[in-house]
Amino acid sequence: MNNGQTDTAVLVAMLSERAFVNVRLALAADAHQWQLHHGQVTLDDDTPVEERVWRYSTATFLELPLPGPTAAALLQGDDQDVDGIRVAPSGPPSSSASTYRLRGQEQRGRVITPWPRTEWTINRDTNTPQPGNDLLIGDGPSFLNFDQALSAFLYQRPHDSNADRSQLWRIVKPQRAGWLEKITIGPDLLTADVVGDALDGAVLELSWAAGNQPQPIDGAGTYRFPLPHGLAHDSLLMLRHEDQWLDWRHFPAPTYGRARDASVVWEQPGPELDILLANGEGKYLECKRGVPEGDSRKKMLKTIAAFASRDGGTVLIGVSDDLQIVGLPEKPTVDKQELAVVGMIRDCVEPAPPYESRVIDHDGKKVLAIEVSAGGQMYAYRDRDSQRPEFFIRVGPNTVPARHPEIAAGFRQAPAAVTL
């Protein structure tokens, strides 16, 4: 089962059986005690823990190996001594945890791992007081507030209010029996590099609507699937042992703009572009025949702001409205056209959105892809003449003005917002 519920008693027993587990704890001080705000447990004997302690007057962040029974006691709601601090769990223990089984390179929260993993999460009581917004200055890096420190401590990344806002516990168990380390997709061949600790009897299978190709696995190595007609739309590459999956990758229309799968290499990007265009323009894709000017330029920049404000997406320049790949004109040079688009984004979208630009060569025609990632806050289009910020979201294939509640919610996601 990929997801469901697990009795907390099962997790307590699992932790109790281990001599040590790797933990990260975020503690917030109230008037009388140190209270657990967030705890992460990693059940991984192969990765040594890097011990860290950040201490402030109102918060403490700890990363250390902790005896399994001590972690289990915290999970079931008992006060425990950790690194000289008496830690009190926040509220009564939960009876169950949400369970997720994740493939390799799958993102949940702000975490991506090359190997599959199982995660259990427990949310805190909604009535639990949240840490304050005081500056944190002490025996650790300085931060504007608790949430910024938490994000830096857990992920070494800027604060994202969607991450761990409601989680009390997150327990992670790597699944390294077998996984897909790298997949290379060419015009007529798919190559998969398979690694793992328990691959005896495993099968690697490529499936698509009209058929499938299974291959027995005799250990770690490189396995090949011929693609006489290219990679079929909606293909599934499955590494399995009997009826249990070890790892998998799905190849529907690629969703540019969101986290790209680092394990998948498109050796010839043309097939990737074909699959993307097969689903047409929509929530995550906007096409332009050439580098836009006038009203078309404003529309593209508003769409980029909308992509960054929500789930990400891609603008393809060199594709007509009827999804024909026409390519960029020969003059000016492709580099100059790319620089022109980058300059437009720099001048008119703020704060600077998270994006990458790249040129895709498709049968001798060049297409410029502007891949925009979700930025975790609202991004504004600011007209160069009026200098008035405007906010947009993506609704299906359309870019529409954001409503006041949507704008307010977007600004609450990030401590640093656009200056109005």
Q: What is the pLDDT of residues 263-283, one digit of tens each?
A: 887 765 666 677 678 777 888
- What predicted TM-score, i.e. pTM, was given to this entire model? 0.69
Residue 171 CB neighbours (<10 A): 24
Q: Rounded to an integer, what is the distance from CA 63 to the centroid of its chain? A: 23
Whether residues 231 and 286 share a domain: the answer is: no
Whether residues 80 and 165 share a domain: the answer is: yes
Whether residues 79 and 126 share a domain: the answer is: yes
Q: What is the pLDDT of residues 10-46, one digit of tens each?
A: 999 999 999 999 999 999 998 778 999 999 999 998 8
Residue 169 pLDDT? 95
Whether residues 11 and 157 share a domain: the answer is: yes
Q: What is the pLDDT of residues 43-81, one digit of tens each?
A: 998 878 889 999 999 999 999 999 999 999 999 999 999
Up-side HSE of residue 208: CA atoms within 13 Å toward CB? 13
State the CATH number of the domain containing residue 222: 2.60.40.1870
List, for the chain, all residue ranges whose pLDDT scores fall below the cut of 70: 1-2, 160-165, 253-260, 267-272, 275, 386, 410-420
Whether residues 293 and 220 share a domain: the answer is: no
Residue 164 pLDDT? 52
Residue-number span of the structural domain to which 400 is assigned: 273-412
Mean pLDDT of the chain: 87
Whether residues 84 and 218 share a domain: the answer is: no
Whether residues 40 and 153 share a domain: the answer is: yes
Question: Taking a C-beta distance cutoff of 8 angstroms, is the pair 308, 355 a contact?
Answer: yes
Q: Report the alpha-carbon distance of residue 249 to residue 417 in Å, rounded.
A: 37
Residue 416 pLDDT? 40
Query: Could you tell me the strand order of the sheet in which 380-382 lies?
Result: 349-350, 380-382, 389-395, 398-401
Residue 269 pLDDT? 60
Does residue 417 fall inside a structural domain?
A: no
Question: Taking a C-beta distance cutoff of 8 angstroms, is the pair 121, 40 a contact?
Answer: no
Does residue 262 fall inside a structural domain?
A: no
The domain tally of the chain equals: 3
State the CATH number of the domain containing residue 330: 3.30.950.30
Q: What is the pLDDT of residues 392-410, one digit of tens each?
A: 998 888 899 988 887 877 6
Whether residues 17 and 143 share a domain: the answer is: yes
